[in-house]
Structures are given as C-alpha cells and as structure tokens.
Structure 1
Amino acid sequence: MHPWDSQTFAEGAKNAGRSDATIANALAAADSIKKTNVNLPVILSLGHLAHLSDVGLPVLRNYVERSDDPYRVFQVKKNHVGNAPRKHRTICVPEPSLMRVQRWIAQNVLNAEKPHPRSYAFAPCRSLVQAAERHAGCRWLIKMDLQDFFESIDERRVYLVFRSMGYGALLSFEMGRLCTRLRGSYSAEPQDAATLSTGYKFRQPGFLPQGAPTSPMLANLVVRALDRRLEALGLKYGWVYSRYADDLAFSTKDITGRGAAIALVKQVEREVRDFGLRENPAKTSITPPGHRKVLLGLLVDQDQPRLTKKFRNNVETHLFALGHPKVGATAHCAARGFRSVTGLRRHLAGLVAFAHAVDKPYAAGLYADFNKLDWSR
C-alpha cells in the first residue's frame, strides 16, 4: 500500500475528470483521518477499500447487505470450571474473500490504534507473561471473567470505533458490517427491515464473531473506556489491574482483608454491567495470602511468574512418551486423542514456546529433547 500524498491524489483525481467539489470532499475526509492518527490509512469509500484489499466491490457490497451468511460455524469445548457443566465455544470462520478484507482491516487499520496500556492480549509487543508480571508477588489476587466477550460487542460499538478514527459515517457503517455477523438467520428478513439511510437493509445489529481476525483488536478498542474505569477503580483502593482478553485481574501487595476484596468485586461488577457487559460469576475468585496464586496459567506468588508443576509434568510426559522406544509419535498421538501427528507436534511446539517465554533455561532443555524426536514412528 502506497503512503498517502494529498497532492498526488488531487492531481490524479483531476486527470481522471473528478470535479473540484469531489476532490475537496475527498481531501477533507483524508485530513480528518490523518488528524486522528497519522498512521491510519486513508479509505474514502467501500470501493476504495475494495481496491486496497483486492476484493471485488460487488463481493463487499454483498457482505454489507448481509445477503448470505459468509461464515462456517462450529463448536469447540470450553475449559471446565468448577462444578459447572462443560460448555461449548462457537467459532465463526469467514469465507476466503471476507477473511481477506478482514485481515487487511486488522493489519492496516486496527494495528495503527493502541489498546489501553493494561490490555495485554492481541496487541504488538504485549503478552500473557507481561500481564502476569504485573501481579507477581501479590498478597491478594482477584480473578474475574467477562462472559461472552466478543458476542456481547455489537455492530453499533464497532461503528463508533471506526468513526472515532475519523472515517466517514457510511464507510464506518460498512466496515462495521464487514467485521460483524448476524445472530439469527440471514434468509429470514425481519418485518422492520426497512431500507436504512445508508441504502442497506436489516436493522438488527450484528456482533463480533469469534474466529474473525478483526474481532480481538476491535474488542480491545471497544473496551478501552472500561479499562480506564477499572484501572482507576483499582488505583483508588490500592489494587493493580490488568486485562488479558476476557480475563480481568486485580491484585495488591498491601495488607487488607476479604471484605475489601469482596467490595472491590462488587464495584467491578457494577462497572462492567454499566458498560453493557456481564461478568461470569462461576469464574470469579479471591485468593488470600498463603494460598497458591495462579493467573493465566502461571504462578504469581513470587517476584517473577513461574510455570506450574502441572504444566511441567504435562510437557515432560509428552517428551518422554514421544522419545520412548516402545511408544513413539503414532501411539502417543492415539493415546492422547490427537487427530494427527502433525497436530500433536504443533501442540507440543506451542507448549515449549510458552515455556521459553516464562523460563528460558528450563525451556532450553525442552527444546533439546524436542529436536531429538523422531516423528516418523
């Protein structure tokens, strides 16, 4: 993508026969975007976005019109929490052309905007380990979870994110449609589906689908205001705040009591609900001094985050079985329920990489064992 140059654009538009009024309007729109954030790309219309993303304009219009459901939908099991029944997470994978334009928006538009400093997921140069480091050595730890995080963020809030970047109202509406999905049937048009002022139908707002490349960053940008409120609330009472996707954490090294922790939880719940989201009560926990503190899969009861014994045992068991002459990749893959040896290999590589981010000396030994494995047997 070429950098924006207003003079080059004006000359090209004039040579193409565009009127002075049209050129002036386009330059004003570009100026609005660049004043907001100089790193944002200038996008003037859906046709311009089609050109930039190399996806046909009729295809994009079809997505915005919501003529058909362009997502492949399936479910995966959620992690089991306490005594609650195991639930499923709905994954929505966009078809190739929609995936292409969503990736373009994610890489070129959303990447130019910064989430709140205490948000550590889905952002360059931020990580799960950094989120855990904020709470290392804490006395008290509060963990909370935002329920149905992506699905709770609707098209109207996505529209406002694009508008806040300086993009025009119609284009912001269209990009909001490209990044969201309807909850109900695409074929059953509701009775109130009058044509909107935009020229498109459907009054029912879509939501952020889990599986779209734009959803994580858009969710971060939507909840920046909530992050500001929650950080301020924590600071008011001497607690440190962080958010990693839908996982909220508060901690303190001060001497306090359970009553103060419970009071903070109730205030956080009010802030979350006032913002239009909901917490998942089954995942709220308060850990006092003297108890094992695990946040985002890492121990945070000392000065630095550490790998849990459960994690170490798991990765070491994988390596032992895969390297054992009587087991090997094929048998271990079947025993652990992996669909393929390739899937098992990628899973284990991810575990070792995670260990490396937390404990490099320990991970060096894991890498040495991993690199010796014979995956052909």
Structure 2
Amino acid sequence: IESPKGKLKKFQRKILSEILNKIPPHEAAHGFTRNRSIITHAALHTEKDCVASFDLKDFFHSIPPARIASLFRTLGYPHEVSRILAGLCLHMPNAHYLGSPLQNFPFPRRKKILSLHLPQGAPTSPALANLCAFRLDVRLKALAQSMGLTYSRYADDLTFSGGKDLKKQFSYLRGTLSEIAAQEGFKLNPEKTRLMTQAQRQVVTGVVVNKRPNISRAEYDRLKAVLHQCAQGEEVDALFKQSLRGKVEFIRALNPKRGEKLLRLLQKL
C-alpha cells in the first residue's frame, strides 16, 4: 500500500470530490462506487447454475500515465492542466528508500515497481481505475449479453454468471475476454480463473452466492475464533478493534443471525 502524505493526500481528495466523483462509472462497476459494494456485486450472481470468475493482473499498474492524462483531457481540461492533475495522482517510488529487498525481485518486476503508476492507497486511484476501465466494462457487458450472461466487476475481479450452457461456453468466454482485456491494456491472471457450478460452493469476492449472498462457515468460524482469543488475552488496540468491527458488520449485512453472535463477542473486548 502506497499511502500519500499530508498536502498531497489533501490535493487528491479535492480532485476526487470536485472532479472524479461527479463522473459515474459504468453500471457494471461495483467497487469504490456510491451505493454499490461487494454485496451488490455478489447479489447479481446468486442462484445461477454457473459462475465464472476472472482477475485482472496488476490492475493499477496496468494503467499507463498517458491514459490518466488523456482521461482528464477527455473531461475538458487543457493539456498542461491534465498533465499536472495526472502527476498529482501518480507515484514513482524511490529505489533508495525501498532498500535492498527490492534486489530480490526479478528485473521486470523491479522495473514495474519503480515505474510511474497509480498508487494503491491514494484516494483518487480507485475512481481513476474505474473510469479508465469504462470501455472494458462496455465491451464485456456487450459480450455477456450476446451470450445470455450477467456481468459485473469489483475492482480487478470480473464475474460472469448464467445457466448450464456457460459450462460449454467457458472456453470461448475465457478466450474472448482475454483478447478484449489485452486490447484495452489489461491482462488476465490465469491462476485466478475459475468456473463454479451449483454442485460446489460458488464464491464471488469472498461472498457465497449459491442460494443468497452469505458468508462461508469457515470464514465465520475463523473470525469467531479470533474474537474468542482476543477476549481471553490482553486489551486489543483501537486500530485492530476497528478492523474487527468492519469484518463483523460485513457479516451482519450478509447474515444478521451470525453477525449478531459475533457482535456480542466483539462488545466484550
């Protein structure tokens, strides 16, 4: 995570509120968007015979600086202003600051890390990434409709769902999706490509969607064990407690009954 400091973060928040938040992303985008969330993304794919999940590799790093400047020009800003706005939203790490661990990476990886890119942790990065992926969403939505499927995207997670025919269509979907992504400047991560049928647990961005959006039993048990352990140990610091509360509230939104049990444990800390 590359979180900007002080004045730069203030400038980025201003760019976000005064410019980027006023431009709606594509309807298929559910990440970092008002009134949409992991849950609304997952809900679109509940009770489907088949769910196909794909991941965009190095999502933020895949968006070149020129594309960010071009986006601001498309919004009507002069060339020089667009260049300055883009510069405020981009980051190039200092190799000396990163230190010797960087040398352990292969050269292509080091080069990518040290290149100018959208930093994870900057307030503007998610909105800029969504807007830069607008044309990708348009094309993938059209692809899904042509195949009788539902499509949505949460950040770098792409999900398609539909009937039993998707099992036969999967190879075509994967190949066409890969081509479209490449044409739009993105690349699929083959290690995170999955096809899930109703015969198995269908998980979309951490949410089980077989019958309704729900949390997996394993995830519930894991958090419950952490809360029990914290209750028996020393006092939990405020930041960690806030993190636990966020997880509990997420589960409450999906499964109120389980969520209430976890909330009672949290309140004992």
Q: TM-score range by the shorter chain?
A: 0.7 to 0.9
C-alpha displacement of 1:285: 0.9
Q: 2:116 aligns with which of 198, 202, 206?
A: 206
1:264 aligns with 2:173: yes
C-alpha displacement of 1:318: 2.3
- Determine the structure 2 residue equivalent to 1:66: none
Q: Is the 8 A contact 1:120 1:242 kept in 2?
A: yes
Q: Distance in 1 between matches of 2:90 and 2:116?
A: 5
Q: Distance in 1 between matches of 2:184 and 2:94?
A: 24
* Mapping of residues 158-197 of structure 1, within 5 Å: 158-182=68-92
Q: Is the 8 A contact 2:207 2:214 kept in 1?
A: yes
1:116-161 CA deviation, whole Å, 9 max, x = no partner? 1110011111110000000000111111100000011111111122
| TM, length-normalised to structure 2 | 0.87
SS in 2 for 1:93: coil
SS in 1 for 2:76: coil
State the one-letter code of the partner of 1:364.
Answer: E
1:307 aligns with 2:215: yes
* Mapping of residues 228-307 of structure 1, within 5 Å: 228-252=138-162, 254-256=163-165, 258-302=167-211, 304-307=212-215
In structure 2, stretches of 5+ residues that fail to align are 97-114
Q: Distance in 2 between matches of 1:221 and 1:341?
A: 37
Q: Distance in 1 between matches of 2:192 and 2:80?
A: 40
Q: Is the 8 A contact 1:102 1:212 kept in 2?
A: yes
Aligned residues, how many? 252
In structure 2, the CA distance between the partners of 1:319 and 1:182, relative to structure 1 (3 Å rule), is: closer
SS in 2 for 1:364: helix
* Mapping of residues 1-377 of structure 1, within 5 Å: 91-182=1-92, 206-252=116-162, 254-256=163-165, 258-302=167-211, 304-323=212-231, 327-330=232-235, 341-371=237-267, 373-374=268-269
> Which protein has greater RCO, CA pairs closer than 8 Å, 6+ apart?
2
Q: Distance in 2 between matches of 1:225 and 1:184?
A: 33
* Structure with the larger helix share: 2
C-alpha displacement of 1:320: 2.4
Q: Distance in 2 between matches of 1:173 and 1:344?
A: 39
Q: Distance in 1 between matches of 2:67 and 2:73?
A: 10
C-alpha displacement of 1:183: 6.5
Q: Distance in 2 between matches of 1:185 and 1:319?
A: 40
Q: Distance in 1 between matches of 2:198 and 2:171?
A: 15
1:87-134 CA deviation, whole Å, 9 max, x = no partner? xxxx22223111110111112211111111110011111110000000
In structure 2, the CA distance between the partners of 1:185 and 1:313, relative to structure 1 (3 Å rule), is: closer
C-alpha displacement of 1:223: 0.5
| TM, length-normalised to structure 1 | 0.63
1:245-301 CA deviation, whole Å, 9 max, x = no partner? 00011110x231533111111110010001111111111111133111111111111
